[in-house]
Amino acid sequence: MVGIITYGVYIPRYRIKVEEIARVWGANASDITGGLGVFEKSVPDMDEDAATIAVEAARNALRRRAINPEEIGAVYVGSESHPYAVKPTACTVGEAIGATPVMTAADLEFACKAGTAGMQACMGMVKSGMIKYGLAIGSDVSQGAPGDALEYTAAAGGAAYIIGNDDPIATINHTCSFTSDTPDFWRREGQDYPRHGGRFTGDPGYFKHVKGASRLMFEQMKTTAKDYTYAVFHQPNAKFPQKVAKDLGFSMEQIKPGLAVPRLGNTYSGASPIGLAATLDIAKPGDHIFVCSFGSGAGSDAFDITVTDAIKDKINRAAAPSVEKLLANPIYLDYARYAKHKGKLVMQA
């Protein structure tokens, strides 16, 4: 049955605290930490971008399970911060892990859910027999304009999933999506930073679509929140996933392992894939995992996943760092060095 063969995550080691950003803009940090439930966010190094993060995540996936990279027939990288507007990140990743040239590749964009959209595409190709393995990655060095509310959460990180049929560590029993044309958040060609519709991103954006896809999953799988061991939701902040989980009947215990955002920030395309990875890091055979991503624009992909015995003997989870390990021991930056890392300071050639 189609499922996850292996997975890997990469998070840059640098962090900036919400207090430090608030200090620069004269905002009250406790209003922000209290309102969003985010305390710090990851920051890429100066030479890190969505492509390097995708490569690191893919390599971490391969460290855990030694599959032949030449058997990866498709590479999809979902991001809204692809380093090139034209020239695929997916080719860089494919080359770096030795999957080229007999493979198809493409970059995907669906705000924060392009990573899970890639997983669905790989599932389809694996199930139809077109490919043996597909690699789907969600990776972002998220953009938030200086002074904008997004600046407190826009973070960097990514997760990679190899999808296949042979001895998956977790079967993906079903996936379904809920999509509409909703302008809650956007960035036009040539613009440096995205814009958002303020409070409009909440109810008509996140909550409508996450609940839409989640309820569709309950209906199609004849399940309720109580049937799952864990649940992972897209986490632009800590408040939204906790609220939607509660509204759908999940407990805080179910979502806790996959809620990385308080110490990580919003890694956009990486967010739900990293949340799922953090859950797989601690999962046992038989655990039943619910996942629902969200991308502005807007849509959600839901997944019903069951962890198999293969998680014990077919992969070596310790061969690559867990999400917990990647979050531990950070290096904190002040705003000036953060600005340098994020390319917000324009330097002379």
Please give the residue ranges that form the binding site for other proteins (CB under 8 A). Answer: 28, 31, 197-200, 203-204
Task: Name which of 178 and 290 has its Cβ closer to other proteins.
Answer: 178
CB of 280 to other proteins, least distance (A): 37
The number of beta carbons lying within 10 Å of the beta carbon of residue 92 is 24
CB of 292 to other proteins, least distance (A): 22
The span from the CA of 219 to the CA of 42, in Å, is 37
The span from the CA of 177 to the CA of 123, in Å, is 14
- Whether 115 and 269 have beta carbons less than 8 Å apart is answered as yes
Told to judge if 71 belongs to the known catalytic residues of this protein, a careful annotator would answer no
CB of 39 to other proteins, least distance (A): 18
CB of 243 to other proteins, least distance (A): 15
Q: Closest Cα to residue 274, out of 246, 314, 225, 234?
A: 234
Task: Name which of 157 and 205 has its Cβ closer to other proteins.
Answer: 205
Sheet holding 40-43, edge to edge: 40-43, 14-17, 331-332
Task: Name which of 200 and 332 has its Cβ closer to other proteins.
Answer: 200
CB of 204 to other proteins, least distance (A): 5
Q: Tokens 């922000």 map to which residue?
A: 32
The span from the CA of 75 to the CA of 90, in Å, is 6
Sheet holding 133-141, edge to edge: 104-108, 72-78, 133-141, 156-164, 3-10, 170-182, 297-307, 288-292, 230-233
Q: Which of 40, 48, 56, 80 is catalytic?
A: 80
Angle between helices 18-25 and 29-36 (to 10 degrees): 130
Task: Name which of 152 and 230 has its Cβ closer to other proteins.
Answer: 152
Told to judge if 176 belongs to the known catalytic residues of this protein, a careful annotator would answer no
Task: Name which of 204 and 285 has its Cβ closer to other proteins.
Answer: 204
Q: Which of 112, 122, 176, 292 is catalytic?
A: 112
For residue 176, give Cα distances in angstroms to 182, 209, 218, 293: 19, 12, 10, 11
Task: Name which of 82 and 196 has its Cβ closer to other proteins.
Answer: 196
Told to judge if 234 belongs to the known catalytic residues of this protein, a careful annotator would answer yes
Q: Which of 196, 209, 234, 341 is catalytic?
A: 234
Q: Closest Cα to residue 155, out of 262, 293, 30?
A: 262
Q: Is 147 left (phi over 0), alpha (psi -120 to 50) or beta?
A: left
- Convert 307-348 into a string of H (helix), E (strand) and C (coil): ECCHHHHCCCHHHCCCHHHHHCCCEECCHHHHHHHCCCCCCC
CB of 347 to other proteins, least distance (A): 31
Reading the block at residue 55, the tokens are 């490569």
Q: Catalytic amino acids?
A: 80, 112, 234
